[in-house]
Each structure stands twice: as structure tokens, then as C-alpha cells.
Amino acid sequence: MILERLRNWRDRFHHLKGLLHRLEAAQETQASELRAVQSAVLQMQQLLEQIQQAQQDARREANDGIGRLHGVACNTQQLSGDTLSSVNGHQMHGLAVADLARQAIGRLETRQLSAAGKRPWHDNEFRVYSQFGEDGLLQFLFREIKDAPHTFVEFGVEDYQEANTRFLLLQDRSWSGLVLDGDDANVDAIRRDVAYLRYPLKAAAAWISRENINDLLREQDMVGEIGLLSIDIDGNDYWVWETITVVDPAVVVVEYNYRFGPQVCAVVPYDARFDKATAHPSGIYYGASLAALTALARRKGYALVGCSGGGVNAFFVRRESLSEMVHEVSAEEAYAAGHHAEMRDLATGQPRKATLEEQQQLLLSLPLEWLDDTGRQRVSTSA
């Protein structure tokens, strides 16, 4: 009996020993497989890093190439007309080459940002012809608002070399529009410009007021839905936008006076012949606060979606076009302060640096229309 039990224990011992060996072998196999997986992951990480480095190198080479092209273009501008070469039978002046380089840079920026997905508002900014980053912000908005008509109206463009709509017009031939300026010489210059001669652009000279703006637009066949309305007339921007009824833009860009700050809801009183240069010797008495424009936008069915980083332009979108990518923000969230030294010394008339607080204190001491948060009621006409 004892011997039989010993044999049973021995058999169980050998069985357990076999199980232990198999378990150890399985563990070793699993460890080997784990090491293989870890090695594969490491190789994939290294490959991904190589791909990312290659992409960065490609972008750098592309940007360097564009930079060299721009440098060549700038150098070409210094050459006399007799030494310019002919390309495909057309004499290309240096300025035209530089312009092509700027457009190429803008297209590169557009493609890179369109592939980047959701990103902070200001990361969409880039400048081709706009004053600050408005070109990039408009590319972003019209990439998201796909059903917007490709027509625009822009006021206060001077000679149209710096404008919010020029890049839209030149980089995409599906856009057309109207530009208005109060100076006949500026409009004459526009009509000699390649943007006017080769693209579907109208240009008219007019001193814009709330009394004539709707008639001016009708005369130029600008009625109904349009893609973009851009207003920068250094004074009556609020009053003119309030009056416009003949066009229904998908996006509105309006200059605001950042010196009011993000909370003050006020506007300089309307004057049909308002001239920023002569309205006050400081040069900062003009326009409307961001809060006032936001209240007006709300009344007209628009939402504030952001401002340019330069502290100049506010961007509004029709409420029905809001989305996860294009969403409403408050004036406090969107506000950006400008840093350009535009204030003039009251004694000498020379430009000088002044703190935002100093400029705001002066501005608020001058006659203003104070509005409630609907932009309707005129609370007072003095500070």
C-alpha cells in the first residue's frame, strides 16, 4: 500500500514537473513574443520619426525655394526694363514676379493649414495682401462655410495693394467682387492694376455714408447673398454696416477701435463727412468698440467668431453657419489689442507711443454714443 502511494506521488511529481516545464516554456515564448512586439514598436517609432523629419525637411526645402524665388523677384525689381528676360513670350516685370511669389507662399500656407484639422483661431492667421493675418482667417472661414457665394464687397481699400479680398480674388478664379474707395486717384490706380485688368473685379470711387451705401451697391449690381463684406473706412464703419440692407453676406469683417477695450459698448457719433485725420488731433477718435459691433451683429443675425491678432478687424458669421469649427465667442474672448503707435501728440502732432490705458482715457473723454447690449438704445452722447 505504501509503495503504491509512493508511485502515485512520484507520478504526480513528474506530472507537475512537466507542467512546470511547459509553463516556463510558455512564459519564455510569451516573453520572446513581447520582446518582438516591443522591437517592432520601436522600429515603427523610429520610422515615424524619420517620416516626420522628412516632412519637415520637405517643408523647409519648399519654403527655402519660395524664399529664393522671392529674393530673385526682389532683385529683379532693381533691374532695368531692358535687362528683363522674356518668359513664354511675355515680359515679366520684377513686381509681377514678386507678386507671384507672395501668392505661392499663400497657397502653401493654405494647403498646410487645411490639412492640419482643428486648431486655435489665431493659428490660422497668415498674411499675403492683408494688413495682418486676415488672409489666413478668411481662407479658414470659407473652407468651413462651403455654401457661401464667391462674391465680395470691400470698402476703404485705398489702392488695393493691401486688402482683405485681394488674395481671395487672385488665388481662386471663382471669386469676383467690388471695391470702393473715396479717393479718385486710388481707384484710378486700381483700374491699372493686374487684379482689375485680368480678374472679375469692379472698382468705383465714392465717399461712403449711410445715406448712399445701399444705392451704391445697387448701381454696381451688388444685391442679395454675397460671400464677404469687408468694411474699413476709419470712422463710420458701425453706422454704414447698420444701414446696409441690399446685400446679405455670409461673413462680415469690420474694423474696430481696440482702444475702447473689450467691454465698453460705444461708438463715435455719426457724421456723413467724418474724417479720422481731422476729427481729433490725437488721431485715435474714430470707429466703434468691439462690444458695440458685436451687439449690432447680434441684432443683424451674426455671431462674433474672432479678431485678427493685430487688433484691427473683427470677424462675424451668420448664425446658421456656426459649427464646431466656427463657433461664437464673446467680445472679451475675441478681443485683441493693437500695438501700432498711431496716437499723435496733442501739442506737436507727431506720432508717439502711448499706453492702452492712456489712449482709452482720452478716447472715453470725447463725445460718444453709448449703447446698451442690444446695440439699439443710445444711452448717452457724452462720456
- Residue 315: partners with Cβ closer than 8 Å, 6 or more residues away: 137, 141, 251, 252, 253, 304, 305, 306, 307, 308
Range of the domain at 279: 125-380
C-alpha cell at 101: 511669389
Q: Is 230 helix (H, G, I), strand (E, B) or coil?
A: strand
Residue 311 has pLDDT above 50, yes or no: yes
**Quick one: 108 and 146 in the same domain?**
no
In a domain, 47, yes or no: yes
Least Cα distance to 293 among 324, 254, 327, 334 occurs for 254
- At residue 383, the pLDDT reads 47
From CA 357, how far away is CA 261, in angstroms rounded? 9
* 96 in the same domain as 175: no
Model confidence over 125-154: pLDDT tens digits?
999 999 999 999 999 999 999 999 999 999
87 belongs to a structural domain: no
Same domain, 132 and 163: yes
Quick check: is 346 in a domain?
A: yes
Q: What integer pLDDT is reported at residue 250 of this predicted model?
A: 98
- Is residue 276 included in any domain, yes or no? yes
For residue 97, pLDDT beyond 70 = no
Could you tell me if 214 and 318 lie in one domain? yes
Say whether both 140 and 25 belong to one domain. Answer: no
Mean pLDDT for 7-26 is: 64
Q: Tell me the backbone φ, ψ of residue 261, rounded to 5 degrees.
A: 85, 180
- Residue 138 and residue 73 share a domain: no
Confidence category of residue 364, pLDDT binned at 50, 70, 90: very high
Q: Indicate whether 92 pLDDT > 50.
A: no
Query: Is 208 within a domain?
Result: yes
State the pTM of this model: 0.74
* Model pLDDT, residue 61: 47
- pLDDT exceeds cutoff 60 at 67: no
367 or 56: which leads in pLDDT: 367
Q: Are residues 72 and 202 in the same domain?
A: no
Do 49 and 10 fall into the same domain? yes
DSSP string for residues in 64-95: HHHHHHHHHHHHHHTS-GGGPPEETTEE--HH
pLDDT digits (tens, 9 = 90+) for 34-50: 565 456 545 555 554 55
Q: Do 28 and 145 fall into the same domain?
A: no
Q: What is the pLDDT of residue 216?
A: 97
Most confident of 17-31, 102-116, 159-173: 159-173
Please indicate, yes or no, if residue 86 is contained in any of the structural domains.
no
Are 336 and 373 members of one domain? yes
Residue 132: inside a domain, yes or no?
yes
Residues 146 and 66 in one domain: no
Number of domains in the chain: 2
240 part of a folded domain: yes
Residues 372 and 271 in one domain: yes
The CATH number of the domain where 362 resides is what?
A: 3.40.50.150
